[in-house]
Structure 1
Amino acid sequence: MTGGGEVMNEMPEQMPVSLLSAERCHLGEGPTYDPATDTAWWFDILERRLFEVTLSSGRAIIHHLPVMASALARIDAGRQLLVADDGLYVRSVAYGGVELLCALEADNPLTRSNDARVHPSGTFWIGTMGRNAERGLGAIYALYRGRLSRLYVNITIPNAICFSPDGGTGYFADTATNVLYRVAVDPATGLPAGPPAALHRRRGGGSIDGAVVDASGLIWNARWGGGCVDVYTPEGEHLRSVRVPARQASCPAFVGRALDRLLVTSAWQGMDEAERAADPDHGRTFVIEAAVRGRPAADVKLADP
């Protein structure tokens, strides 16, 4: 294992943070940002809600969805690709209507979609998992030019899907085992070019959840149950931790015109009344002044040029 499993600098540092949305998400996940419209998007998976916030104005809309969705990617100015529990849907940005593009484990009522991220080439990696986190029911797929193929199986909770700036390396994790993996990827296709290898194993103090890579190649990984975002090098070394005001931080995304702020979702899933009382910002969504530069999310490509 390249980076080992010992996490140094365990005390999270405090960076300036603001509340983007006070609305509590049962399971906040899947944040992304569209620089063309200065709009952040994220999901409350279990409540079938899609959040839309224009950062410059603070204008916020909550869209109620007909499916249990967990992630989206921009296709073009008018369309998004929605990752849901039974399939991939093309969504109209203007009207909110959805149309099925292809099925995703629709024949298995025990699973739903989870983490996802677009490779710089336009290939979309998508994770699935058991609705009750049943062991080994999950998988990771790639949508390459409109064709869906399965990459990895026997995953319990797929998370931390993200890619190096040059597109030559992919990352993913199984939250159930707390292992972050690295895999060589073809930069032109976004498909694996070799087997995955363990990069870092988290021991204690929370679990590896969603992740995003900054412009310099560092991995920013939300720690579920740890109330922070951890920063790792491509070699798996833990550099620092940044505090998040909610204990169950779930997924980050770089936002803002300069892509220098970090949106972080959170969740209250699995917390009893006492735990929620002890964590007053549970389920809310935050923006951290990260003082680093992210990268714009690539558009998903549904066909060859």
Structure 2
Amino acid sequence: MITRFAPSPTGPLHLGHAYSALLAHDMARACGGTFLLRIEDIDSTRSRPEWEQQIYDDLQWLGITWDAEPIRQSDRLPSYKSALKELWHRQLLYPCTCNRKDILAALDAPQEGVEPDYGPDGLIYPGTCRDKTNRNTAYPDGSVIRLDMAKAIAAIGQDQLHFLETGEPVDHKAQFITTPASDITSTIGDIILSRKDFPGSYHLSVVLDDAAQGITDVIRGADLFEATQIHVALQALLDLPTPRYHHHHLIRDDNGKRLAKRDDARAISKYRAEGATPEDIRRMVGL
């Protein structure tokens, strides 16, 4: 078993991060496996060295150790670019110039007043730019790039995509989650795989990084459960292994709202400063 914790250095770690990191660490240690750390600094405008250092400090204070030097997404740009160019040459990508306002206008046009459809990646893109570009040209650096999902599913050539889920969305009973390949086109749409300011996206980078680190078991929050079908599709498209997935419940505040980076009141560093112990944190998150 090889698990990982992949925080973003864009703010302080909170109790939700502590739960996910401890769970992934404990699961690996319980069976003599490996626990790895990855710094997901894909958001270059908000990532800060001081937040990265605090991640290390907080995890070490919690008693979490990792078995290899942490990797950073900012050091893996060549890998993302290589995958994008491969998919471009297979004519599965296209540049997009639409902003959110354009997308909403296009979605609202056929039936004004009807709520637009959302998928695990947000608004389902209507395909406005899909046929505007000659895909036989060179890869367009510095552009927003979308995946032509219909062509991608055709290229995968499978009627169904599936992954093994061992976590709470399926009541702790390990089972295969199966999605008809045709549903992915209609319920997800043409996702963004690269942005102007970063040659990659969360979906592309997490799939490539998990494969590069040899991750066998992805332990993460239930908020990413629906997005897993995107990752499984990309793994099939890029001929990468599909890990087992364990999606756990989210740690919430007293009002039932999931914690966020801006919720400093639940920051691990704040509890540390107030004299809490690592055992106290474990009790707070139910471990």
Q: Same fold (TM over 0.5)?
A: no
Higher relative contact order (CA 8 A, sep 6+): 2
Q: Return the index of the structure with the highest Cα Rg.
A: 2
What TM-score results when the alignment is normalised by the length of structure 1?
0.26
